[in-house]
Amino acid sequence: GGVDGMVHISELSWSRIKNPAEICKVGDTMDVYVISFDPEKHKISLGAKDHSVDPWQVFMNKYGVGDTAEVRIVKLMPFGAFAEVVPGVDGLIHISQIADRRIEKPEDVLSEGQTVEAKITAIDEEKQKISLSIRALLAPTADEEDAPVEE
């Protein structure tokens, strides 16, 4: 007596989620839109993300290079960690920028879901990529290092 469609996990939220239960549960009513329809396979692909909001534009309106942001670690990789700056926009904290010492792997210092302060060190608007650094907030600035010690 009806038609079923599927909302892929990537279409549920601008944020990275691991399980649809983070967004909804069986029996919930949701506003969705049709992404595609295949009459031969009887498949309907649906979306739930608000496409009137561009997460990259939200990021660009709020942050610039040199700003500090509270970010959430969303994925650990051998070369660093991806962190969500605003929902739908992640930045990379290269392994060399995670701590003020050499570390073997990002999970030695960070864990997925953890919230940390990071400095925005670069923004590539064309590729929509962001470089982040925790280390930049840990290391003293050159001014502090050269400042005379008052007695």
pLDDT one-digit tens code per residue, 75-133? 999 999 999 999 889 999 999 999 999 999 999 999 999 999 999 999 999 999 999 99
Q: CATH code for 55-138?
A: 2.40.50.140
- Token couple for 143: 């001014």
- Token couple for 46: 């649906």
Q: Which residues does 52 contact at the CB level (< 8 Å), separation at least 6?
A: none
> pTM of the full predicted structure?
0.70
Q: Which residues does 26 contact at the CB level (< 8 Å), separation at least 6?
A: none
Residue 95 phi/psi, 5-degree rounding, is: -55, -35
Strand, coil or helix: 102: coil
Q: Can you give the residue ranges of every domain in the chain?
A: 6-47, 55-138
